[in-house]
Amino acid sequence: MAVAAPGVWRARGAAGWRRILLRSEPLRGYALLSPTLVVMIVGLGFAVVLLLAFSFWSQDYLTVVREFTSVNYEAFVSKRLYSALLFRSIGISALVTLVTVVLAYPCAYFIAFHVKRRKLVWLALITAPFLTSYLLRVFAWKIILGYEGVINSALLSVGLIDEPLGFLLYSRTAVILTLAHAWAAFALLPIYVSLEKIDRTLLEAATDLGDGPVARFLRVTLPLSMPGVISAGLLVFIPTVGDYVTPSLVGGTEGLMIGNLIQSQFGKANNWPLGAALSVASMVVVTFLVCAFLGLSRVAQRRLIA
């Protein structure tokens, strides 16, 4: 019995893998994404592993003691300041997500259903301001919300107030407004894509069955656009929890978030292990909340469709 040469076996194996790849659409997708996935796994994965290792070390003045210890996590649990800042950050990010999605949805709805020509021009005009520097937009809001800013000057000039409003700047309100504006484009685009994919014949069928505009929206449009709404919420919520630039510039003491504390540990305090532990704890809590949100959203989406 003749034995095939190694080159023949390799050719047969390659042909077998090719047949499997052509039959499976998910495998073809992963094959196309494989270069990006490798870069993300190597780059982000290594950073997360290094962060996790630092979180179990300790700091002795300027020296990092590379011995296993849980003192950093014990400090996170025992000191109320850390958990309070984390949950304040989660609350602020939740409000930012809500405001951003509520403001972005009507814009996306108008472009998807009422703009008949040059939709790309409308999208370009809406997203053009977000192509400028993030810091410039934050400083612009600082000027708008300032003690002698645009809002206070306008209200004083028309006589609606007797003195400038002090709660606009260096507050949670300023952080929420600035972050909502900064991330509006990231919420608008996935909602628009989700609305654009809705089959218009379903809306016509709902109208023929007697649904008015409100009932048609609640029973057809909103449930079918929920994937875009959920994606927009995640795209806004996850990054804003760890934001520290906006709170430091417009938040003041009332608008400080967990990102500011982590940045101070890696910077001025020079306590990298504690900063790493705070980062890991924040990631764990946010991951748990995101998973719970996805689970609840799937249940709610099934009920809406049913």
pLDDT band (50, 70, 90) for residue 132: confident
Query: What DSSP line would sit under 34-57, residue for residue?
Result: HHHHHHHHHHHHHHHHHHHHHHTS
Contact by Cβ (8 Å): 82, 278:
yes
CATH class of the domain at 79-305: mainly alpha
Written as six digits, the tokens of 106 are 């009507």
Q: Tell me the pLDDT of the chain averaged across its residues.
A: 86
- Indicate if the pLDDT at residue 3 is higher than 60: no
Structure tokens at 20: 């499997």
**Closest listed residue to residue 82, CA positions, set 254, 260, 219:** 260
Worst-scoring range by mean pLDDT, 23-32, 148-157, 253-262, 267-276? 23-32
CA dihedral (70, 75, 76, 78) positive or negative: positive
Sign of the Cα torsion 203, 206, 207, 213 reads negative
Q: Residue holding tokens 């609305």?
A: 195
Q: Could you tell me the pLDDT band of residue 17, with boundaries at 50, 70 and 90?
A: low
Give 189-247 pLDDT, tens digit per residue: 999 999 999 998 999 898 888 888 899 998 899 989 999 999 999 999 999 999 999 99
Rounded-to-integer distance, Cα 24 and Cα 35, Å: 19
Burial class (CB in 10 A: 0-12, 13-18, 19+), 257: buried
Other CB atoms within a 10 A radius of the CB of residue 101 amount to 24
Element (H, E) at 63: strand 63-65
CB contact set of 282 (below 8 Å; sequence gap of 6+): 86, 89, 241, 242, 258, 262
H or E segment to which residue 59 belongs: strand 58-60
pLDDT single digits (tens) 87-119: 999 999 999 999 999 999 999 999 999 998 888
Report whether 195 contacts 109 (CB < 8 A): yes
Residues 35-54: tens digit of each pLDDT: 877 888 888 888 889 999 99
φ/ψ of 183, rounded to 5, equals -110, 10
Ranges of each domain in the chain: 1-40, 79-305
Q: How confident is the model at residue 162 (pLDDT cuts 50, 70, 90)?
A: confident
Percentages of the chain per state (helix, strand, coil), in multiples of 5: 75, 0, 20
Nearest to 153 by CA among 162, 168, 164: 164
pLDDT value of residue 37: 79
Q: What is the three-class DSSP state of 58?
A: strand
Give the span between the Cα atoms of 205 and 57, in whole angstroms: 63
Predicted pLDDT of residue 8: 46
